[in-house]
A and B are shown apart, each in its own frame.
Chain A
Amino acid sequence: MRRGEVLVAVTALLAGVGAAAALVRGGYEVPIDLVAPTLVLNLAVGWSFVGVGLVARRRRPASRTGLLMVVLGFAWLARFLVAVDTTPAFVVGVLLGSVSLSLFVHLLVTFPTGRTRTPGQRVLVLVAYVLSAPLDAVFLAIGASRGRGEGPPPNGLLITPRNGEFSPDPVDLVVQAVVVALCVSVLVSIWWRWRAAGVAERRALTPGLVGGTVVLATLLVERTAILLFLPPSAGVVLAWSAQVVLVVWPIALLLGLLRSRLDRSGVGRLVVDLGEGPAEPGRLQSVVARALHDPTAQVAYRLPATDAYVDAAGDPVDVSPRDDRAVAHLTRDGRPIAVLLHDPVLAGEPDLVEAVAAGAGLAVENERLHAEVRHQLREVRASRARLVEAADGARRRVERDLHDGAQQRLVAVGLALRLARTRLGAGSRDELDALLAEAGEELTGALAELRELARGIYPPLLTDEGLGPALISLAERASLPVVVRAVPAERPPEAVEQACYFVVSEALTNAAKHASATQVGVDVVSDGDGLRVEVLDDGVGGADADGSGLRGLADRVAAVGGRFEVSSPAGGGTRMTATLPCG
């Protein structure tokens, strides 16, 4: 124990002893048969709150619940000052008399964080505090000296029912009505919270809320009894039973706060569960969700060399933290391998999440590899479909170009020749001359179109002379200035050479069409046992990496086992990089 905690504990012990002395020897006249139970119950409640509060504070320093419990314990014991037969002690005792119940409302409404989160909660807590010391001060000021020397010490929110004759005045009734309204509102508030909570949060809330509800309900019945002019004896019984519940309530709160301690035992079960049963995708996730008691828990696996995460089936998962979900990173040998997405309430229990993560350990790595394979398979399937689509598209374009271009021109040639022939007999020499000249021009055009078409389908220079001359040729026919800065002299495998050529070709088309660039640089460098191709323009950026052209390029690169990246910040030019392995 730390020194501060020792000090608080000793003070609480002394306060208890003082309260006992005040009760037994003070100005209160407690019926002799009630002294022992009153003493035992009150000390038990006070010490229980202080002691358990200290534990809670140490285990969950982030939560204010522990602090509130300690303060409540002291406030509870401080009520007995009223029994000390001096005026200052009496005044302080009256003022602190019902603060413990305000604290009780505060604890219940804000459990487990100890902090108010909604305006409604703030109003409830504020009303609870106004009803205690401030209102007591008012009553004290207008000369209410009741309660002194009669019966057990005050234990209600405001007014202690007196033994014997009971005749409440209108002010009492109004105050009691407000108290009842407060109790009902608190009950409604915690019911709403419990309903809105997820499964994981409910497990943390339930013990504390159930205990608090019992205390509050008892209090409510007791107060309603006063309002309904029921005999005070019934109220006394209820007040005593509320105290009995209050003795154990701190334990319930602590259980809620420290749920993970208990759940740790479930982690062993997790390891066993993972060991047996069929290895199917998503199994790890369901076992982890069970161990965390959070059905929304999700495991996402990191794809190596990227920051992308996928689920067990290989589908991409967004792992950025959100309001309704916290993210825990799982690492292996210092490398991030997966993330655990869980209910934010579990963030208050890092040791549970860590224990589950450690328990899942090898299984995570194993399932990550599976997820990676599934993801790759999915990518391959998608890219295969796109390649087929692209090939079909290319064939359609070739067909259209042949049809609309060269074929049309050749038809025109045929027509002109036919006309010339019919004119052979009748027409003039000039007419013939013009027709034949027209046929010649159409032929020239058809030939030029066929030449470009053929080159577009496949550049012969690439196979004949390699990447350098082919890229320079691309640069020479580009519609914007292109500088080919470096190309390695030795020739890579044909597939790599072609992928590289098409990356540059498509990137140049892109830069000319969409980027509004004024200059493009092309670099091809040896990179380990592969090639790295980089095309950088000075255009407007904002290229869509998922657009059909760039997607096709990515597929083309992926087909030779390479990696394709586009960096295209708006206004910052576009840089396309393809890394192509030659091995």
Chain B
Amino acid sequence: MILADDAPLFRGGVARLLADRGIEVTAEVGDATALLAAVRADPPDAVIVDIRMPPTHTTEGLDAARTLASEHPAIGVLVLSAHVEPHYALALVEPDAGGAGYLLKERVTDVEELTDALRRVAAGGVVVDPSVVARLVGRARVRNPLDTLSDRERDVLAVMAEGRSNAGIGDRLHLSEKTVEAYARSAFTKLGLHAAPDDNRRVLAVLAYLRA
């Protein structure tokens, strides 16, 4: 994989953590241009990119992720961000694009979570940071349809919005896959959502629903 961040110390730390877990970092770069060049030179399975990079330190990482999604849909892109902003997360994950993820930068300290997210985007999945989902789920609403859900159904929906499959949700909530399926179905019915043909579309549908 390739790691793009303008702080060499950070790159070094993350690279070492990942190497410990058996993930090979093939290139470390400091900005978006270098990242795109490195990807073209030696396409990796996945890319970790910081949202803020030179020259403007705003959303270069996000723009690079979009470019990669259209040029190299097979490569999973994990964007690390300092902002809990659903807007950025949703701008990243698009239907029919390759694997994409939006994680808060501080998640790198939890190497389990980081490698899990990396593997999921590399496999074409979607990853949305739990803080972002929590913001959407916890948002104040006049008539809150989420109130009709049971606690379990809401938990399942939230973890689903993070981009996990039924099996993943089950692992996380210590439930069997079948139970997860049942909760998911009843939650969808209560909210009037339609079952999506694949996991990514399902995530997008849930996120769109929460955002509305």
Contacts and interface: CB of A to CB of B under 8 A. Distances in A.
Given A443-B109, A444-B106, A463 B58 contact: yes
Interface in B53-95: 58-59, 82-88
Contacts of A477: 135, 139
Contacts of B135: 476-477
B9 interface: no
Interface in B140-173: 140-142
A367 B82 CA distance: 56
A451 B82 contact: yes
Chain A: number of interface residues, binned into ranges: 20 to 34
Contact of A482 (B58, B86, B109, B140): B140
Chain B: number of interface residues, binned into ranges: 10 to 19
A478 interface: yes
A454 to B, nearest CB: 7
A469 B91 CA distance: 11
Most buried by B among A460, A463, A465: A460
B136 interface: yes
A518 B86 CA distance: 24
A447 B108 CA distance: 12
B83 A465 contact: no
A460 B87 CA distance: 12
A440 interface: yes
B83 A461 contact: yes
A460 B83 contact: yes
A470 to B, nearest CB: 8
A451 B135 CA distance: 14
Interface string A179-223: 000000000000000000000000000000000000000000000
Q: DSSP class of A's interface residues: helix, strand, loop or mixed?
A: helix
A476 B142 contact: no
Contact of B140 (A444, A447, A451, A478): A478
A411 B36 CA distance: 40
A518 B87 contact: no
B58 A480 contact: no
B115 to A, nearest CB: 17
A5 B135 CA distance: 88
Interface string A510-528: 0000000011000000000
B87 to A, nearest CB: 4
A444 B113 CA distance: 14
A430 interface: no
A271 to B, nearest CB: 65
Contact of A473 (B86, B106, B141): B86
B211 to A, nearest CB: 8
A451 B83 contact: yes
A576 B140 CA distance: 21
B109 A473 contact: no
A481 B109 contact: no
Contacts of A476: 86, 135-136, 139
A518 B135 CA distance: 19
Interface string A557-583: 000000000000000000000000000
A472 interface: yes
A455 interface: yes
A128 B119 CA distance: 113
A481 B145 CA distance: 13
B38 to A, nearest CB: 25
Given A443-B109, A473-B86, A464 B59 contact: yes
A479 interface: yes
Contacts of A519: 142
Interface string A409-444: 000000000000000000000000000000010011
A373 B78 CA distance: 57
Contacts of B83: 451, 455, 460-461
B51 to A, nearest CB: 9
A461 B82 contact: no
Contacts of B109: 440, 443-444
Nearest to B52: A460
Contacts of A478: 140
Contacts of A461: 83, 85, 87-88
A481 B86 CA distance: 17
A386 B67 CA distance: 46
Nearest to B132: A476
A218 B71 CA distance: 117
Contacts of A451: 82-84, 104
A15 to B, nearest CB: 86
13 contacts: A444-B106, A451-B83, A451-B84, A451-B104, A455-B83, A464-B58, A464-B59, A473-B86, A473-B87, A476-B139, A478-B140, A479-B140, A480-B140
Interface of A: 440, 443-444, 447, 451, 454-455, 460-461, 463-465, 469, 472-473, 475-483, 518-519
Interface pairs A-B: 9 shortest CB-CB: A469-B87, A481-B142, A481-B140, A447-B106, A464-B59, A476-B139, A480-B140, A464-B58, A481-B141
